[in-house]
Amino acid sequence: MAGSRVILRRASIDDVPVLERWDLEPHVIACITDDPTATTAFDGTAWTEEIAGASEVSYHLIAEVDGHPIGAMQIIDPQLESTHYWGDVGPNLRAVDIWIGEPDMLGRGYGTEMMTQAVDDAFADPAIVAIIIDPLASNTDAHRFYQRLGFVPVGRQVFGEDDCLVHRLDRASWTAR
């Protein structure tokens, strides 16, 4: 998948060190949890196992600019993924997580390019009817970001200890933009 500046590619074991580093970045932690004592974003994720266990149900992408990793995404079939994080959701959805790992890459439009490519890729499958996301309810910057892309808030939901404002983007809304 290629955009004007961002290349998205499947994450590999070679990406584990950068994912582990980004897991410790304060700006990434702040987007993932409201816990002020958190020292990692993804609460002890074993990145080697996470990447090695990729499937069509759940996998990670690495975003690169000029050959350098700047961020990551996770693409999930929320109905089929093994943890059932999303609870009882219908078929034909995708859930997306995104983070810019490199602090100096924030605010440059790369997140928009990453999401645009991921949404286009998801909707390339004619069976996919919508994409859901779960930013923290407190993360109003993320809400504005997603809403500029056409996502609509559908309600608050607590996942684990995180109070989130779930958003949804339907295929028809994306196609009509």
pLDDT, average across residues 30-43: 86
CB–CB of 164/155 below 8 Å?
A: no
**Per-residue model confidence as pLDDT tens digits over 89-126:** 999 999 999 999 999 999 999 999 999 999 999 999 99
CB–CB of 85/34 below 8 Å?
A: no
Q: Exposed, middle or buried: residue 43 (CB in 10 Å: 0-12, 13-18, 19+)? A: middle
4 band by pLDDT with thresholds 50, 70 and 90? low
Would the pLDDT of 1 be above 80? no
Q: What is the pTM of this model?
A: 0.92
Q: How is residue 164 written in tokens?
A: 């989130």
**Per-residue model confidence as pLDDT tens digits over 132-168:** 999 999 999 999 999 999 999 999 999 988 899 999 9
**Per-residue model confidence as pLDDT tens digits over 39-87:** 888 887 899 999 999 999 999 999 999 999 999 999 999 999 988 899 9
CATH superfamily assigned to domain 6-176: Gcn5-related N-acetyltransferase (GNAT) (3.40.630.30)
